[in-house]
Amino acid sequence: MRLRWVFVLLLLIPLADALLLVVVADAIGAPTTVALVVLTGLIGMLLVRAEGRHTVRSLQEKLATGAVPTKELMDGGLLIAAGAFLLTPGLVTDAIGFLVGVPLTRAPIRAALERFVVRPYLDRKSGGFVTGGVYTAGFPNADDEDVYDVDGYQVDDERG
């Protein structure tokens, strides 16, 4: 169900890009629109390149101290996505690329990805050990009247 919406969104972005390019080209002229798209792409790539260098430097410092570079790895992935959006010609994709590439707006995107994508995935794979959602006593969703043997199998009350 969610994957269907991702495909719809991936199809709507180029459509919105093409429509906005037509509107902007009608308003300011086609050569100016092409120059604007090329200029935003170049400026965006310079931004992503500088941010990538900063992220790699920060990642190396974390690894040298023995810390886990989770923030830096997520930033690296987001910068790759920003670069892909900025290389795609269009104004909508450039705006998305700038939003993901700028550190001020990348931090809330990274936090949302961690909360809604990374943590649920890790919890599913680890049985709740990542976020501490594990059961420490008893059995989850067990009624008070259910009786279990040593191996964890449910035993009928009549059989003892």
- Tell me the per-residue pLDDT of 109-130, one tens digit each, with 9 for 90 and over: 999 999 888 888 888 887 777 7
The residue-averaged pLDDT of 58-86 equals 93
In whole angstroms, what is the distance from residue 97 CA to residue 84 CA?
Answer: 8
Task: Give the pTM.
Answer: 0.75
What is the band of 160 on the pLDDT scale with cuts at 50, 70, 90? Answer: very low
Residue 138, SS3 per DSSP: coil
In whole angstroms, what is the distance from residue 90 CA to residue 80 CA?
Answer: 17
The burial class, CB within 10 Å (0-12 / 13-18 / 19+), for 37 is buried
Domain boundaries, the chain: 16-105
Q: What are phi and psi of 56, to 5 degrees?
A: -65, -40
